[in-house]
Structure formats: structure tokens, C-alpha cells
């Protein structure tokens, strides 16, 4: 039942009907409600696993802070883009929601790791904070929700736009020069 519910919610997002989920699960609506008394119970059971996976993710080892953030953002957003329900939970939930709070706290820790790394490699702008990084990823989550085409190239482009806003200006100039060199 969970697998079928997860498929429907990933494809349809929070707009999925409980009857549609029950039908995909091969059970009646009453059976679905016996296992999950509320829609929130079902959504939490489905998205909780995905949020836990996101909460376990961290910056890749090695590389600069900017490169590590680029990879982390790209992987996270690509995973989220394939799960409309989780994106809906993260983008429409209140900042007071427990799941959203946990996600922001985790992303802030990841952001702090990047800020700490940048103290040595100077690839992030000096005024970038761990919270800035967390909220950039949350903003990208909203972008992923709005993208008509969440193809990897589209996701990468938006990740790159966000990273440019976080990196040190001399690194940004160097990256632009490298991109325009023959």
C-alpha cells in the first residue's frame, strides 16, 4: 500500500485524491483510512522516508566549498524534482511544521560545513551564512516545483544560478572568464 501511495504522491503531489491512492493500492477507501486515519498520516508515512534520506545527505568530501555545494544542491534538487509530494510538503508547509523545521536545521548544518570549508578555500563570499545556504536550497526546491521540465540540464542551470550568488566575487569572475575562453 505504501509503495503504491508513494508512486501516486510522487507523480501527482499533494493534489492526489485518497480514492486514487486506494485504487492504485488495490484496496477500498475504508481500508486505506483504517491504515492511515488522516491524509497527513499517509503523506507523512510516504514523505518521511524521503525526508530522512535528505536529512542524511551531506556535502561530498573533497573539493572546494562552492563545488561541494554545487554537487549537493544538484543531487538534492534532482531527487526532489522526482517527488512532487515531498516538494509540495517542503514548499507549502509552514516554517513551524516539524518536518520543515528539521529539514531547515539539517540544511543549515550542511551550510555550516560549507562555510567552514570556505574559510580555507575562500570560494564562498565572506558574508554567506549557513542559513543563507539552507534557504537557497529551499528556494531551489520551490523552483523545482515550478519548472515545467525538471530535466537534469534545467536543474543544473538553476543550481548554477544559485551558486553564483554564493561564491566569492573573484571566484565568480574567474569562472566566467574560464567559460568564455576559447
What is the CATH number for 53?
1.10.357.10
Model pLDDT, residue 123 = 96
Full-prediction pTM beyond 0.85? no
Model pLDDT, residue 73 = 92
In a domain, 9, yes or no: no
Model pLDDT, residue 160 = 93
Q: Please indicate whether residue 120 or residue 93 has the higher confidence score (pLDDT).
A: 120
In a domain, 10, yes or no: no
Whether residue 5 is predicted with pLDDT greater than 60 in this model: the reply is yes
In a domain, 87, yes or no: yes
In a domain, 113, yes or no: yes
Asked if 137 contacts 76 with a C-beta cutoff of 8 angstroms, the reply is yes
Number of domains comprising the chain? 1
Model pLDDT, residue 93 = 64
pLDDT per residue over 99-155, tens digit each?
778 788 889 999 999 999 999 999 999 999 999 999 999 888 888 777 766 666 788
Q: What percent of the chain has pLDDT over 90?
A: 36
Model pLDDT, residue 27 = 92
| CA 182/CA 139 separation, integer angstroms | 34
Q: First CA to last CA across the chain, in angstroms?
A: 55
Model pLDDT, residue 10 = 78
Asked if 16 contacts 83 with a C-beta cutoff of 8 angstroms, the reply is no
Could you tell me the residue range of the domain that residue 130 belongs to? 47-180
Amino acid at each position: 500500500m505504501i509503495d503504491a501511495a508513494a508512486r501516486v504522491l510522487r507523480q501527482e503531489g499533494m493534489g492526489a485524491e485518497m480514492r486514487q491512492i486506494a485504487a492504485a493500492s488495490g484496496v477500498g477507501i475504508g481500508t486505506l483510512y483504517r491504515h492511515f486515519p488522516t491524509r497527513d498520516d499517509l503523506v507523512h508515512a510516504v514523505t518521511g522516508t524521503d525526508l530522512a534520506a535528505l536529512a542524511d545527505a551531506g556535502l561530498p568530501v573533497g573539493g572546494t566549498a562552492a563545488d561541494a555545494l554545487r554537487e549537493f544542491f544538484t543531487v538534492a534538487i534532482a531527487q526532489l524534482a522526482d517527488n512532487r509530494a515531498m516538494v509540495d510538503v517542503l514548499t507549502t508547509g509552514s516554517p513551524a511544521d516539524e518536518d520543515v523545521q528539521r529539514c531547515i536545521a539539517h540544511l543549515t548544518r550542511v551550510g555550516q560545513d560549507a562555510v567552514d570549508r570556505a574559510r580555507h578555500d575562500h570560494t564562498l563570499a565572506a558574508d554567506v551564512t549557513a542559513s543563507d545556504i539552507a534557504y537557497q536550497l529551499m528556494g531551489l526546491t520551490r523552483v523545482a516545483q515550478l519548472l515545467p521540465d525538471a530535466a537534469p540540464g534545467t536543474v543544473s542551470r538553476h543550481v548554477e544560478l544559485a551558486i553564483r550568488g554564493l561564491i566569492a566575487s573573484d571566484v565568480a569572475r574567474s569562472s566566467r572568464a574560464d567559460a568564455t575562453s576559447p
